[in-house]
Structure 1
Amino acid sequence: MANIWDPEQVVSEKLAKELVERQFPDLSPVTVTTLGEGYDNTVYLVNDCYVFRFPRRQIAVNLLNTEKGLLPKLAGTLPLQIAEPIYFGEPVEKVYPWPFMGYKLVRGNLPGVLTEEKRVESAVVLAKFLRALHDFPVDQAKALGVPPDMLGRLDIGKRKTALLERIDQMEALNLYGNVHNLRRYVEGTGPVALSEQQCLVHGDMHIRNLIVDGHHMVTGVIDWGDVHIGDPAVDLSIIYSFLPKRGWNLFFEHYGRVDDSTKALAKWKAAFTTVSLLMYGHDIGDQEIVEACSQSLDLILEK
């Protein structure tokens, strides 16, 4: 079956250099280094100071425009660094059809495989970050062009079949040792009512969108392409995919009370996202992603 991360267009290092130099001569001479690629964007480090993201799919263009309106307003208001856009590239006829953006670099590393102790150390700052984000005025976010959830990210009934198919693929490829317990959890989870609370959410909180420092503390959150007005469970999923069970209460002490239905939805979203990310890592041959996601799945399945 087709993968949701299959690109429609990929910007090469050579083309990225040409586009940036053509539109932002103040950055010349431009050096370009590949940082990575996600479902929606190809990402390059420019002059060791800026991150440029080039959409890989048409759907990513609207997401980029949402970031353009919102992130400058959020920058400096949250207890973690975020990627603030400062360069706004335009399409070039017959060369590249979509806008692209350059951001201040959030320095650090992706978390990868971490000890439980290191994960727990970030529980408080993650809680304070999400509390501040979810308290951002919804009316202001809407005025800045932030959309509602149009993808049914928490629709268990709609997404369960796709998740089970990916779990079957994982088992066939021998990608995860605890696949039977994972399938049992997914099969035993039915639809859960959404919260009446709607708030500004990052929309894609997972281990590839966190930045850690040299001490493995979370210091930044990147890739805001899925930001929307929605259920807080979408973001609270990071509790289950990043923190061990003994870090959950510490998180909630600083974030605030969360009802059982929201917790159940958050755990489901964590499983769905992590399985998809693990299969993506396998598809592109990145064993580090596979190993990190396997550790996240172990955390999700803790009882």
Structure 2
Amino acid sequence: MFVDLARKHGLHVRVLEVDETGWDFQVGHAVDSEGVRWVLRVPRRPEVSELIAGERRLLEFLRPRLNVALPRWEICTSELVAYRRLPDSPLGPEDPVTLAYQWWIDVPGELFRTLGEVVAELHRAPAAEIAELGVPVSARTALRSEADDHLRRGISELDVPESRVRRWREWIDDDRYWIGDSAGLRLVHADLHPGHLLVDDSGMLTGILDWTDAAVDDPALDFIAPRWAFGESGLDRLLAAYVDAGGRPREHFRAHIEQLASFVFTVSLGIHGIDTGHDGYVKIAQERLRE
């Protein structure tokens, strides 16, 4: 599939590896006849294809504004995206079966500083200008409504411990945690897990991949994957770097991140597994809920 699609668009490669872990794209790692490494992305669903043009425009908008490298697409169609592989390696790729991060280097403190600067810059981007690029803009209540729906479904379709149901219900019902008006919405990457963070041999952050989930939404979404990956201390360091770079977290922001991260990587993961027929995700969600 990858070879034929690439050839159709004038790129002749052989595929070295296929990555099936992405929820939105199948990814092929390939090399051309001159030894240049390429990344090929094929959308899994028609609705993902509809986001491609907006993602391309966002990358061009952000490239001069961020201090890290971004993919530079050379093929951009509704059926295939292709770009030359960026230097360096993902900090912690996900195991496709267990979803565990495969760390290959210790995380230096400097990474949190750079990532905090990137997130702060994203959150400064004018929402109206971002919307004109074709990036999705969420309603201020969308994330809260989704959490409410997932919790209701989780109670009936997953084995969610009662103590967690009570804690998450209190969080969802408490206005203090949620965005009060649309002015609180920010441009977010929304999937800053270690597999999307490129680092050099010293662990320095050099690039960020996969902007498909980018939207104007709750800024907490840029902290939940780092919280899950780096723990409480990592979140503290990232938030401190974010504030130092001019980020302005709202009241109760850290507590909101804690609740949202624990919810998304358990209940929402399980619901996604149910909806996509991915029994492995459901199993992982249930195991995490029992921990």
Shift of 1:209: 3.0
Q: How far is the alpha carbon of 1:60 from its aligned partner? A: 0.6
C-alpha displacement of 1:127: 0.7
In 1: Cα distance, 2:129 partner to 2:240 partner = 27
Q: Which residue of 2 aligns with 1:271?
A: 262
* Aligned 8 A contact 1:164 1:186 in 2: no
- Sort the Cα spacing of 1:166 and 1:144 in 2 relative to 1 into closer, same or farther, 3 A: same
Aligned position for 2:51 = 63
1:43, distance to aligned residue in structure 2 (A): 0.7
1:100 aligns with 2:90: no
Q: Is 1:193 the equivalent of 2:175?
A: no
Measured at CA, do residues 166 and 72 of structure 1 come closer, stay the same or move farther in structure 2, by a change above 3 Å?
Answer: farther
**How far off is 1:76 after superposition?**
4.0
Amino acid at match of 1:108: S
Distance 1:124 1:283, change over 3 A: same
Q: Which residue does 2:142 correspond to in 1?
A: 152
TM-score by length of 2: 0.73
When residues 116 and 49 of structure 1 are mapped into structure 2, their CA distance, relative to the original with a 3 A threshold, is closer
1:87 to 72, 75, 80: 75
Gaps (5+ residues) in structure 2? 93-100
TM-score of the two chains, using structure 1 as the length reference: 0.70
Query: Within 5 Å, which residues of 2 pair with 1:63-212?
Result: 63-89=51-77, 98-106=78-86, 107-111=88-92, 112=101, 114=103, 118=107, 120-149=109-138, 152-155=142-145, 156-164=147-155, 168=159, 185-191=167-173, 192-195=177-180, 196-212=183-199
Give the CA deviation at 1:128.
Answer: 0.8
Quick check: 2:18–2:29 contact (8 Å CA) kept in 1?
A: yes
Contact 2:73 2:83 in 1 (8 A): yes
Cα shift at 1:42 = 0.6
- For residue 82 of structure 1, give the secondary structure of its aligned residue in structure 2: coil
- The equivalent of 2:217 in structure 1 is 230
Larger mean CA deviation between 33-42 and 124-133 belongs to 33-42
Deviation string for 1:112-148 (max 9, x for gaps)?
2559962755321221110111112323212211220
Q: Please show how residues 46-61 of structure 1 align to structure 2 within 5 Å.
A: 46-47=30-31, 49-61=37-49
Matched to 1:123, the amino acid is F
Q: CA deviation at 1:18?
A: 0.6
The answer for the alignment partner of 2:98 in structure 1 is: none
Matches of 1:273 and 1:58, distance apart in 2 = 24
SS of 1:51's equivalent? strand
List aligned pairs for 1:29-44, cutoff 5 A.
Answer: 29-31=13-15, 33-44=17-28
Cα contact 2:227–2:234 (8 A) shared by 1:
no
Q: Once the 2 structures are TM-superposed, how far is the Cα of residue 59 of structure 1 from its aligned partner?
A: 1.6
Secondary structure, in 3 states, of the residue corresponding to 1:235? helix
Equivalent position amino acid for 1:74 in 2 = L
CA contact (8 A) 1:154 1:265 kept: no
Q: Check 1:285–1:159 CA distance in 2 against 1; reply closer, same or farther (3 A cut).
A: closer
Residue deviations 1:256-293, cap 9 Å, x none? 2422333333333322332245885x94769xxx69x9
- 1:38 maps to a residue whose letter is G
Residues of 1 paired with 2:221 and 2:5: CA distance?
35
* Superposed CA offset, 1:51-94 (max 9, x none): 111111122112222112211221242123322322123xxxxx
Across the two proteins, how many residue pairs are aligned to each other?
260
User: What is the distance in 1 between the residues matched to 2:242 and 2:38?
Assistant: 32
SS of structure 1 residue aligned to 2:210 = coil
**Alpha-carbon separation, structure 2, partners of 1:117 and 1:52:** 29
Distance 1:167 1:220 in 2: 37
**Shift in Å, 1:222:** 1.6
Gaps of 5+ in 1: 1-14, 90-97, 172-178
Q: CA 1:105/1:272 → structure 2, altered by over 3 Å: closer, same or farther?
A: farther
